[in-house]
């Protein structure tokens, strides 16, 4: 065995000192929080009282550690191991174990209930089953928990009774609901422990809240009780006299008579409405009847539609009509055979290719003849126009001759008149 190097042991001692100092700081902070919560609870009931400010207590000075090159060398590995242990401790709590047990219980298949079998079972079997479960729980290995350095186990003694334990003890025989409440309380305590909040503080806060609610309820009831209430008047029942009873009977008889008359009137109106017959429409109407009719021994059905026309003249599309005669069959204009084609230009029908060629040739002949006829018509029109022009010229020449003869006659008449009169006014036409 070789000698251990004292320098290698120093980092571990320094790490233990740092961890213990951190734990002391956390305990101091927890104590400060608990004292602050207690002071808040004291002053929560009476808001007018001034709050006392605690003097600031500085933390104890830490000793300066010498600087070493090997300091913190194994701190990362130790921190990783501590983190793994903390995670394992957190996930191995009873809270998660109970949830897993609940899931296993929920997935188990429940057998059918048999009343006779349950009735015949003995209580000894139930006690045996409970003892077996307790033995199985006792055999389970206890889980190791992570403890901080310097932790000391408290001496064995009576545990302080908490609110959750008291409730669980009161409801021990209350059935499955009490067990569920106890489980919920234990799970809340486990969650509070995981969050770093003491269980006593949580229970204390709950008790103070419950106490405040109760005080508010008592105050409300006291206010309700202090309100003045109206005194209820005593009701005195007086026995009616014979005269009052007779008058009441007379009024009741009159009201009954009126009510009966009203009911009779309503009944008569109802009968009158029931006797009214609905007027039938007698105007023009077109009615359509559609039905399925079986054909071929009922295997198939055909729709049959009937249109009925009343009090009106049927429209043109509903009146009976006769189909027009089929058009006569087209005949070839060349051969006289039944025509299969029709010429689009002339509209004449033909039977085959030879007839089409003949029809085309005749069409050309007709076109040439039409051209000749058109030329002849143009020539005749020109000749007629020339004749009309000649006649017009002749008429114009005759008119000129007649005018000249008329002027000559006038001249000779004037000469004769001058010769007979021995001189006269000169003729302007002769000058």
Q: Distance between CA atoms of 288 and 306, rounded to whole angstroms?
A: 6
Helix (H/G/I), strand (E/B), else coil: 146: coil
pLDDT of residue 187: 55
For the cut 60, the answer to whether the pLDDT of residue 31 exceeds it is no
Q: Specify which of 160-169, 212-221, 289-298 reaches the highest per-range mean pLDDT.
A: 212-221
How many residues are listed for the chain in this entry?
A: 431
Phi-psi group of 117: left, alpha or beta (phi > 0 → left; psi -120 to 50 → alpha; rest → beta): alpha
Q: What percent of the chain has pLDDT over 70?
A: 55
pLDDT in tens, 365-374: 989 999 999 9
Q: Helices 176-195 and 94-107 meet at what angle, rounded to 10?
A: 140
Identify the H or E element spanning 306: strand 300-310
pLDDT of residue 400: 93
Identify the H or E element spanning 224: helix 199-226
pLDDT of residue 7: 43
What does the block give as tokens for 24? 């002391």
Angle, CA of 220, 224 and 226, to the nearest 5°: 115
Q: What percent of the chain has pLDDT over 90?
A: 20
For the cut 90, the answer to whether the pLDDT of residue 129 exceeds it is no
pLDDT confidence of 254, banded at 50, 70, 90?
Answer: very high
- In this structure, of 137-141, 298-302, 353-357, 386-390, the range with the lowest mean pLDDT score is 137-141
Look at 124 and 219; give whichever has higher pLDDT.
219
For the cut 60, the answer to whether the pLDDT of residue 269 exceeds it is yes
Domain layout of the chain by residue ranges: 341-411
For the cut 70, the answer to whether the pLDDT of residue 191 exceeds it is no
């Amino acid at each position: 065995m070789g000698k251990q190097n004292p320098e290698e042991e120093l980092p571990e001692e320094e790490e233990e000192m740092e961890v213990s100092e951190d734990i002391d700081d956390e305990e101091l902070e927890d104590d400060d929080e608990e004292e602050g919560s207690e002071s808040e609870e004291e002053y929560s009931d009476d808001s007018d009282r001034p709050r006392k400010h605690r003097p600031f207590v500085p933390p104890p000075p830490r000793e300066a550690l010498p600087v070493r090159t090997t300091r913190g060398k194994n701190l990362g590995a130790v921190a990783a191991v501590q983190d793994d242990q903390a995670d394992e401790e957190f996930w191995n709590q009873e809270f998660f174990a109970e949830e897993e047990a609940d899931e296993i219980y929920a997935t188990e298949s429940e057998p059918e209930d048999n009343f006779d079998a349950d009735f015949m079972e003995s209580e000894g079997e139930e006690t045996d089953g409970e003892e077996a479960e307790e033995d199985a729980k006792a055999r389970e290995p206890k889980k190791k928990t992570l403890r901080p350095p310097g932790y000391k186990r408290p001496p064995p003694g009576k545990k302080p009774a908490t609110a959750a334990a008291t409730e669980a003890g009161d409801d021990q025989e209350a059935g499955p609901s009490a067990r569920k409440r106890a489980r919920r309380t234990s799970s809340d305590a486990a969650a509070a422990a995981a969050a770093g909040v003491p269980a006593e503080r949580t229970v204390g806060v709950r008790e103070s809240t419950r106490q405040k609610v109760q005080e508010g309820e008592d105050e409300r009831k006291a206010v309700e009780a202090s309100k003045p209430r109206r005194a209820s008047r005593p009701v005195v029942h007086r026995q009616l006299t014979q005269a009052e009873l007779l008058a009441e009977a007379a009024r009741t008889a009159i009201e009954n008579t009126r009510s009966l008359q009203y009911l009779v009137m309503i009944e008569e109106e109802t009968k009158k409405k029931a006797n009214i017959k609905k007027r039938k429409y007698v105007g023009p109407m077109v009615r359509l009847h559609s039905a399925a009719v079986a054909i071929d021994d009922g295997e198939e059905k055909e729709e049959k539609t009937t249109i009925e026309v009343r009090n009106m003249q049927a429209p043109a599309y509903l009146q009976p009509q006769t189909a027009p005669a089929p058009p006569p069959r087209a005949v070839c204009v060349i051969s006289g055979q039944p025509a299969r084609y029709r010429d689009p230009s002339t509209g004449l029908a033909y039977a085959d290719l030879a007839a089409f060629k003949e029809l085309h040739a005749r069409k050309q002949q007709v076109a040439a003849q039409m051209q000749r006829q058109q030329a002849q018509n143009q020539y005749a029109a020109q000749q007629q126009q020339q004749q009309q022009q000649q006649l017009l010229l002749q008429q114009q020449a005759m008119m000129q001759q007649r005018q000249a003869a008329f002027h000559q006659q006038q001249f000779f008449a004037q000469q004769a008149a001058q010769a007979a009169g021995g001189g006269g006014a000169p003729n302007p036409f002769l000058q």
